[in-house]
Amino acid sequence: MFEHGSRIAIGVSGGKDSLGLLRLLAEIEGETHGSEVVAVTVDEGIKGYRDEALRLVEEACSGLGVESVVLGFRDLFGTTMDEIASRERELSTCSYCGVLRRRALNEAAKSVGADRLATAHTLDDMAQSVLLNILRGDVGGMATIDPGGGSLEGFVRRVKPYCEVPERESALYAYLSGFEFQSLPCPYAEEAMRNDIRGFLNRMEAKRPGTMFVTFNTGLKMIPTLSKGEAIGHCRLCGEPTPGDTCRVCQLLGR
Ligand code: SF4
C-alpha cells in the first residue's frame, strides 16, 4: 500500500478508527519508513456534530506533530449537508454525503500533494460495502472496496490499511491507548441503509463467526470480472474523472 518516502494523506473524521489509524501511520510510516503523514478532514457542515470532531482532530494532530488540513463542503460545493438535508430530495442524506465526501477527500489529498489517501475503513465497513453494492445493483461501486486502490488519472490512490481489522479490535486499540474520540453520532445516521446492513452482518457474525471476512473476500474476488473494460472519461460539467458523461457529484447537486 505504501512506499518508502511517500506523502500520505489520512482521512481523519475524529472517530476512533481514523484517529487510531492516524496514530499508527504517524508512527509506522512517518517515523520508521520516512514518509510524511498529513491529516485531511472534511467538514460536511453538520451543526453540532462536526464541531466536536474538528476539535479532536486538531488536538490529536498537534499532539502527534502532524500537519492537518480541513476542507469544507461550503468551500467546495457552495452548500452544506444541513442545507441539503433540509431540501426535498429522493435519496437519503447519507447518499449525498458519501458521494460529496469522496470527492472532497480526493481534493484535499490533491491539495497537499499526497501520493496516497488512506482511509480507516475497517473489515466491518468493507463487508457492509460489498452487501450495499449488491443490494443497490451498483456493479461499478464494487471496485471501491479494493484495499490497495488503483492508479486512476485525477484520483489520489486510495488505500485502506484497516481493511482486515474488525471494528471491535479498532475500538479496543482506542480504549487501550486512551485517546479521546468522537462520541456524538451524526444526526442523519439513522437514515443510512448501511445501518440495516450493519445490524444484519453483526447478527450473522455473532452466529457464524467469519461472516465478515467471507463477505469481504467474496467482494474482492468479484472485482476483476466486474471492472473489466470500464473506461474513465471526464465529467462534461466539472471536468472531474467519471465513467459516465456527468459525474455523480454534478448529478446530485443538480448542476
Ligand atoms: Fe454523512 Fe451520513 Fe456519515 Fe452523517 S452518517 S457523516 S450524513 S454519511
Among the listed ranges 28-37, 153-162, 171-180, 211-220, which one has the minimum average pLDDT value?
28-37
Residue 253 and residue 247: Cα distance in Å, rounded? 10
Please say if the pLDDT value at position 193 is more than 90.
no
Q: Does 33 score more than 70 pLDDT?
A: yes
Residue 131 Cα to ligand 1 midpoint, Å, equals 18
CATH number at residue 12: 3.40.50.620
Least confident range from 23-27, 80-84, 214-218, 219-223: namely 219-223
Residue 69 has pLDDT above 80, yes or no: yes
pLDDT beyond 80 at 5: yes
- Mapped to the 3 state alphabet, what secondary structure does the chain carry? CCCCCCEEEEECCCCHHHHHHHHHHHHHHHHHCCCEEEEEEEECCCCCCHHHHHHHHHHHHHHHCCEEEEEEHHHHHCCCHHHHHHCCCCCCHHHHHHHHHHHHHHHHHHHCCCCEEECCCCHHHHHHHHHHHHHHCCCHHHHHHCCCCCCCCCCCCEECCCCCCCHHHHHHHHHHHCCCCCCCCCCCHHHCHHHHHHHHHHHHHHHCCCHHHHHHHHHHHHHHHHCCCCCCEECCCCCCEECCCCCHHHHHCCC
**Residue 7: left if φ>0, alpha if ψ -120 to 50, beta else—which one?**
beta
Residue 213 belongs to some domain of the structure: yes
> In the predicted model, is pLDDT for residue 10 greater than 80?
yes
Q: Pick 254 or 68 by higher pLDDT.
A: 68
| Ligand 1 pocket by Cβ (under 6 Å) | 44, 81, 93-94, 97-98, 186, 188-189, 192
Residues with Cβ < 8 Å from 77, sequence gap 6 or more?
Answer: 100, 249, 253
- Residue 136 covered by a domain: yes
Q: Work out the angle at residue 54's Cα, subtended by the Cα atoms of residues 45 and 24, and round it to the nearest 5 degrees.
A: 130
C-alpha dist (Å) from residue 51 to 41, 46, 106, 116, 208: 12, 8, 22, 26, 39
Q: What distance in angstroms lies between residue 191's CA and the mean position of ligand 1's atoms?
A: 9
Q: Which atom of ligand 1 is nearest to the CA of 192?
A: 2
If you measure from the C-alpha of residue 97 to the centroid of ligand 1, how many angstroms do you get, rounded to a whole number?
A: 6
Output the pLDDT for position 54: 92
Distance in Å, CA 185 to ligand 1 centroid: 9
Check pLDDT > 90 for residue 65.
yes
Report the residue among 132, 186, 193, 197 best suited for mutation to probe ligand 1: largest number of ligand atoms under 8 A from its CB. 186
Nearest CA to ligand 1 atom 8: 94
Q: Is the pLDDT of residue 63 over 90?
A: yes
Q: Nearest C-alpha to atom 2 of ligand 1 is from which residue?
A: 94
Q: Is residue 212 part of a domain?
A: yes
Contact 133, 139 (CB under 8 A): yes
- Place 255 in a pLDDT band, splitting at 50, 70 and 90: low
Model pLDDT, residue 44 = 95
Checking if the pLDDT of 172 tops 70, the result is yes
Average pLDDT of the chain is 91
Distance (angstroms) between ligand 1 centre and the Cα of 19 equals: 17
Rounded Cα distance between 125 and 133, Å, is 12
Q: Is residue 1 part of a domain?
A: no
* Residue 2 placed within a domain: no
- The domain containing residue 71 runs over which residues? 7-254
8 A C-beta contact, residue 57 and residue 41 = yes
- pLDDT attached to residue 191: 78
Question: Residue range 12-17: average pLDDT?
Answer: 96
**How many whole angstroms from its chain centre is CA 96?**
14
Residue nearest to atom 5 of ligand 1 (CA): 189
Give the residue-averaged pLDDT of 212-222. Answer: 95
Task: Assess whether pLDDT exceeds 70 at residue 231.
Answer: no
| Residue among 12, 18, 44 to mutate when testing ligand 1 (max atoms within 8 A of CB) | 44
Is 164 part of any domain? yes
Question: What's the CA-to-centroid distance between 77 and ligand 1, angstroms?
Answer: 16
Residue pair 53/14 in contact by the 8 Å Cβ criterion: yes
> How would residue 227 be classed by pLDDT, with cut points 50, 70 and 90?
low
Mean pLDDT of 28-57: 90
At 9, give phi and psi (nearest 5°): -90, 130
What is the band of 170 on the pLDDT scale with cuts at 50, 70, 90? very high
All three cell numbers of 74: 461550503
Average pLDDT, stretch 162-181? 96
Identify the pLDDT of residue 90: 81
pLDDT of residue 91: 85
CB-based contact 129:219 (threshold 8 Å): yes
148 C-alpha vs ligand 1 centroid, how far in Å? 24
The percent of residues above 90 in pLDDT, for the chain, comes to 67
What's the structural domain count of the chain?
Answer: 1
> What pLDDT shows up at residue 229?
54
